[in-house]
Structure 1
Amino acid sequence: MSTERIETVVVGGGQAGLATGYHLTRRGRPFVILDAGERVGDAWRARWDSLRLFSPAKFDGLPGLPYPGPGWAFPTRDEFADYLQAYAAWAELPVRTRTAVRRVSCEGGRYVVETDGDLRYEAENVVIAAGYDRLPKTPEYAGRLAPDIRQVHAVDYRNPDQLQDGPALVVGAGNSGADIALELARTHRVLLSGPHPGQLPWHIDRRPSRVLAPVLFFLFRRVFTVRTPVGRKLRPKVLAHSAPLIRVKSADLTAAGVERVARTTGVRDGRPVLADGTAPDVANVVWCTGFRPNTSWIDLPVFGPDGEPAQQRGVLEGQPGLYFVGRLFQYAMASSMIQGVGRDAEHVVRHLVARATQRPAPAGTTPLDAHDRSSSG
């Protein structure tokens, strides 16, 4: 295995990684972005076919390049993925696709980033801009459902054609569950299982939202932060619970014929059992039950008992040179949103550059500009 030495490795080529790359480029720092997808934006292309963003296009641009098109349109999954691909090309970012990172560790005062190929990287800094909450979470009793029930997790759901004829139980009533239930209701009888998480009191794609959305996004960026009492009070609730329904409303589900049922608690005779003791006879189960973290590839002592990194606005003081961008409520409610990653990325890069200027260059190395790469075997 050969080794490439570079000042900074950014893990993840989604919006958080690309925004970080933009600010690193502006500062003239040498770096590389590693992404597992075939193309930039493939993490979005892998989601269900009818997905649209919750934020209007005017709030969906990354630093330096506004999202093109009508400002109050809601981009589709593929449209936003294409924008990310175009952004990487526009900013001339050194993204290396088809490069999955399998381990990040520290050796001899430098970070080592191992990939699934024949190349590893040694770096002074690593920016984790890839979500690690990507292991589908399903209850243990899912394996006891009868084999004639087709099971699909939301991460693998694409469209109703994946399901067989007959009723569908959607487990999990958050945004993903509500969106998928509404789509499935066109072709299936749908039961939506789980408590109602609440909902925004207005329709995001109607004209009044053009007044309300800017106010909401201002709150997300400027008011709901770790620096304000209201933000500090809100943060643990956001980390612990699903968000309220944003696009789909309860009335939409009712009008489409979606039946709300109690929480799913187990299995009896191969059929799902609800909290009220009933066992609906369904042909399909769609698990919209979220994800669990997989941090095994980050081989560093940086996670607390809650599974979150012990960070301050993306900076880990106890692990110099390691940074996070794009985490849920990392600094503000907007931190994991498209409109929030640029500000957090800029803060992280500012800290990274300050650290680099204070640190003497390692022996045997030469300065690199943003487009010069050196390798050694």
Structure 2
Amino acid sequence: MERVDVVVIGGGQSGLASAGALVRQGLTPVVLEASDRPAGSWPHYYDSLTLFSPARYSALPGRPFPGDPDRYPHRDEVVAYLTDCAARLDADVRTGRQVGAVRRAGDGFEVEVAGGELLTARAVVAASGSFGRPHRPDLPGLDAFTGTVLHAADYRDPAALAGRRVIVVGAGNSAVQIAAELHDVARTTLASRNPIRYAPQRVLGRDLHFWLTLTGIDRAPIGRFLRTPPSPPIIDDGRYRAALTRGAPDHRPLFTGIDGAKVTWSDGMREEVDAILLATGYRPDLPYLAGIDGALDPAGLPRHREGRSLVHPGLVFAGLEWQRSLTSNSLRGAGRDAARTARELAALLGRR
């Protein structure tokens, strides 16, 4: 059985940021990434995904994003960037390591990897993200729908839905972006329980993230005060508001029922639909912690304060939505949370 300082579960942006911060604190982390490359969920997002923050605000500590700092990097650029960060990281990054279970072992933890590999660690950083646990809300009649139901996690490009009648459910950035590109090839409606809210991508000639950074809103520790975090607005350069205003796609309140392939709208109109795409977000993907009493609540969500387990010293979380600030689960915020967590673990493990 291998003994290590810290096991970091997940080799995406938060896992790599955590590993780098731990190394700077004199600890020796081992990063376990389930897939064949250390880029987290980024390779699996839809093809057209582009960051809403410029490259200069989308980098991990000490690793500037290459190229024009004011451009908005594409998904594949982020994948290449994270892969390069992992290659340059002075830490043991192991791919193809699916963690099956984490258990308490004395004053530390035992980490079981699929295939039988076992590690013991003094601390564990759960940085496995949420892409593996798409949120599928209980929508009226959805279980009885006879058409195609898919989640944004399953969506790659509009070609597979070309010529079909599609409803995209959601009110976030991905919902609007996917619905707008589907409209070019399919009869598409964006449906949501709540109104669409917008935030301008540029304010007074500067990107929104310039102002968020300047004012400190980007890093304010407000996550601890939020029992129900607000849904972020659509960051828009004007095209998405314009598209929805002209009905391309049209936007309607969520349907009230489904009978077979027919959807009933709030005005009583019924129509046949081919596919419903749920752009309804994700939940933390932490099944390997189920065996640690008190680590998760009954819904499988982490019990924590600013990333620290409420029950188990040495167990911390990284990359949770609103973990500490509005940027905790983003490229631009991962480094700040990681630095804080690393300092705390170093103190706990006696390395400071």
* TM-score normalized by the length of structure 1: 0.84
For 2:124, give the aligned amino acid: V
Q: Could you tell me which residue of structure 1 aligns to residue 234 of structure 2?
A: 245
Q: Could you tell me which residue of structure 1 aligns to residue 217 of structure 2?
A: 220
Tell me the distance in 1 between the aligned counterparts of 2:110 and 2:224.
Answer: 34
For 1:265, give the aligned amino acid: T
Tell me the distance in 1 between the aligned counterparts of 2:267 and 2:190.
Answer: 14
Among 343, 348, 351, the alignment partner of 1:355 is: 348
Tell me the distance in 2 between the aligned counterparts of 1:198 and 1:263.
Answer: 16
- Structure with bigger strand share is 2
Q: Could you tell me which residue of structure 2 aligns to residue 144 of structure 1?
A: 144
> Does residue 59 in structure 1 map to residue 57 in structure 2?
yes
For 2:275, give the aligned amino acid: N
Post-superposition shift, 1:314? 2.0
1:186–1:256 CA contact under 8 A, matched in 2: no
For 1:163, give the aligned amino acid: L
1:171–1:287 CA contact under 8 A, matched in 2: yes
1:174-193 matches, cutoff 5 A: 174-193=172-191
Tell me the distance in 1 between the aligned counterparts of 2:132 and 2:280.
Answer: 12
Tell me the distance in 2 between the aligned counterparts of 1:273 and 1:95.
Answer: 50
Post-superposition shift, 1:132? 4.0
For 2:279, give the aligned amino acid: C
Tell me the distance in 2 between the aligned counterparts of 1:256 and 1:132.
Answer: 32
Q: Could you tell me which residue of structure 1 aligns to residue 104 of structure 2?
A: 106
What is the root-mean-square deviation of aligned Cα atoms in Å? 2.4
User: Comparing 252-261 with 75-84, which one deviates more in the overlay?
Assistant: 252-261
CA 1:129–1:209 in structure 2 vs 1: closer, same or farther (change >3 Å)? farther
User: Comparing 264-273 with 326-335, which one deviates more in the overlay?
Assistant: 264-273
Tell me the distance in 1 between the aligned counterparts of 2:41 and 2:72.
Answer: 18
Q: Could you tell me which residue of structure 2 aligns to residue 92 of structure 1?
A: 90
Tell me the distance in 1 between the aligned counterparts of 2:158 and 2:81.
Answer: 27
CA 1:167–1:127 in structure 2 vs 1: closer, same or farther (change >3 Å)? same
For 2:62, give the aligned amino acid: G
* Structure 1: gaps of 5 or more residues: 360-377
* Structure 2: gaps of 5 or more residues: none
> Does residue 259 in structure 1 map to residue 250 in structure 2?
yes
Tell me the distance in 1 between the aligned counterparts of 2:7 and 2:348.
Answer: 15
Among 153, 158, 161, the alignment partner of 1:160 is: 158
User: Comparing 275-284 with 338-347, which one deviates more in the overlay?
Assistant: 275-284
SS in 2 for 1:236: coil
CA 1:236–1:306 in structure 2 vs 1: closer, same or farther (change >3 Å)? farther
How many residues align structurally? Answer: 344
When Rg is computed on C-alpha atoms for both structures, the one with the higher figure is: 1
Tell me the distance in 2 between the aligned counterparts of 1:287 and 1:279.
Answer: 20
Tell me the distance in 1 between the aligned counterparts of 2:114 and 2:341.
Answer: 27
Tell me the distance in 2 between the aligned counterparts of 1:124 and 1:232.
Answer: 26
Post-superposition shift, 1:114? 1.3
Q: Could you tell me which residue of structure 1 aligns to residue 69 of structure 2?
A: 71
2:180–2:240 CA contact under 8 A, matched in 1: no
> Does residue 321 in structure 1 map to residue 321 in structure 2?
no
* TM-score normalized by the length of structure 2: 0.89
1:59–1:339 CA contact under 8 A, matched in 2: yes
Post-superposition shift, 1:84? 0.4
For 1:145, give the aligned amino acid: F
Tell me the distance in 2 between the aligned counterparts of 1:282 and 1:296.
Answer: 34
CA 1:183–1:11 in structure 2 vs 1: closer, same or farther (change >3 Å)? same
Q: Could you tell me which residue of structure 1 aligns to residue 259 of structure 2?
A: 268
Q: Could you tell me which residue of structure 2 aligns to residue 46 of structure 1?
A: 44
SS in 2 for 1:38: coil
Tell me the distance in 2 between the aligned counterparts of 1:209 and 1:121.
Answer: 52
Tell me the distance in 2 between the aligned counterparts of 1:353 and 1:150.
Answer: 49
CA 1:132–1:157 in structure 2 vs 1: closer, same or farther (change >3 Å)? closer
Q: Could you tell me which residue of structure 2 aligns to residue 372 of structure 1?
A: none
CA 1:330–1:117 in structure 2 vs 1: closer, same or farther (change >3 Å)? same
Post-superposition shift, 1:61? 1.0
